[in-house]
């Protein structure tokens, strides 16, 4: 399996998808779970991937990623950190008005706690190896994944597709600290994925990110893709960049396998 090409996300269809909830101190968080089926179940306990969805919340794009990771042998959990109150137009990648309003209102403290609770849900699942739980995120979800990777020191790895809020414009109760300022506490290997045309993380920002990671001794990989802007994995124009999306997916799967091994239970050569 280590030498096989990583299947690119193409379908949201999967046989074993379930809805559950996990409890946090102020309520319940809806969680969608994809589990490997058929022959892929033969390896006993599996690695798990917790996906913090982009700011649209769980949508068709997230389902394609989750289903593909499940086909590759991982248990995949996706929390709805909006708790049912997210954007209605979850798959509209042309008009960003609604999604930007939701980002503006998002309580990053509550949402991070929701993602962290889902990590704990994964660890407690009978079919998951608790030592092989990975956090994975896109855009605003990647910011939540970054917070989670900095606060939970027992994760196996973090895959961060273009975190949208490495710093906030203004700090407050729902945004009490910049994610980038917590990197010193990250204990798992981190993969950062950005485009070289991403205005959120320009060249000077990437240099500062690398400096912090190296200064604080965080195991990391920072991949930058030529000609790509922010959110280049979006399924539709104007954000999408095919070349960067396909290359970054392959890189993410190689990184994933390097840190959790073959999902069937053996190490990756």
pLDDT, tens digit (0-9, with 9 covering 90-100), for 177-209: 999 999 999 999 999 999 999 999 999 999 999
pLDDT top residue among 264 and 254: 254
Q: pTM of the entire structure?
A: 0.93
Domain boundaries, the chain: 17-260
CA pair distance 83, 52, nearest whole angstrom: 13
pLDDT tens-digit profile of 197-249? 999 999 999 999 999 999 999 999 999 999 999 999 999 999 999 999 999 99
Pick the CATH number of 17-260 from 3.40.50.1820, 2.40.50.100, 2.60.40.10, 3.40.50.300: 3.40.50.1820
Statement: residue 78 has pLDDT above 80: yes
What pLDDT does 16 receive?
79
pLDDT > 70 fraction of the chain, expressed in percent and rounded: 90
Instruction: Tell me which of 123-137, 190-204, 251-265 is least confident.
Output: 251-265
pLDDT tens-digit profile of 98-121? 999 999 999 999 999 999 999 999
Statement: residue 13 has pLDDT above 80: no
HEC sequence for the chain? CCCCCCCCCCCCCCCCEEEEEEEECCEEEEEEEECCCHHHHHHCCEEEEEEECCCCCCCHHHHHHHHHHHHCCCEEEEECCCCCCCCCCCCCCCCCHHHHHHHHHCCHHHHHHHHHHHHHHHHCCCCEEEEEEEEEEECHHHHHHHHHHHHCCCCCEEEEECCCCCCCCCCECCECCCHHHHHHHCCCCEEEEEECCCCCCCHHHHHHHHHHHHHCCCCEEEEEECCCCCCCCCCCCCCCCHHHHHHHHHHHHHHHHHHHCCCCCCCCC
pLDDT tens-digit profile of 54-72? 999 999 999 999 999 999 9
pLDDT band at 12 (very low <50, low <70, confident <90, very high): low
pLDDT band at 77 (very low <50, low <70, confident <90, very high): very high
């Amino acid at each position: 399996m280590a030498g096989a090409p990583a299947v690119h996300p193409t379908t949201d269809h999967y046989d074993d998808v379930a809805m559950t909830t996990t409890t946090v101190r102020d309520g319940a968080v809806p969680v969608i779970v994809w589990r490997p089926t058929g022959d892929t179940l033969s390896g006993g306990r599996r690695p798990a991937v917790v996906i913090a969805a982009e700011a649209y919340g769980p949508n068709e794009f997230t389902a394609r990623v989750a289903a593909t990771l499940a086909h590759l042998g991982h248990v995949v959990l996706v929390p709805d950190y909006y708790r049912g109150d997210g954007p209605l137009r979850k798959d509209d990648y042309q008009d960003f008005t609604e999604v930007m309003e939701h980002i503006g209102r998002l309580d990053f403290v509550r949402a991070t706690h929701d993602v962290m609770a889902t990590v704990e849900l994964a660890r407690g699942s009978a079919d998951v190896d608790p030592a092989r739980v990975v956090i994975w995120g896109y855009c605003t979800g990647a910011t939540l994944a970054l917070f989670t990777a900095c606060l939970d020191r027992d994760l196996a790895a973090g895959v961060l597709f273009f975190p949208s809020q490495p710093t906030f414009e203004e700090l407050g109760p729902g945004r009490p600290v910049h994610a980038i300022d917590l990197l010193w506490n990250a204990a798992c290997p981190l993969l950062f994925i950005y485009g070289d045309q991403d205005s959120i993380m320009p060249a000077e920002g990437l240099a500062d990110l690398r400096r912090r990671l190296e200064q604080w001794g965080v195991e990391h990989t920072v991949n930058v893709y030529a000609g790509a802007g922010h959110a280049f994995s979006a399924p539709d124009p104007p954000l999408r960049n095919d070349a960067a999306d396909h290359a970054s997916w392959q890189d993410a799967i190689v990184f994933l396998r390097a840190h959790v091994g073959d999902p069937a239970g053996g190490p990756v050569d």
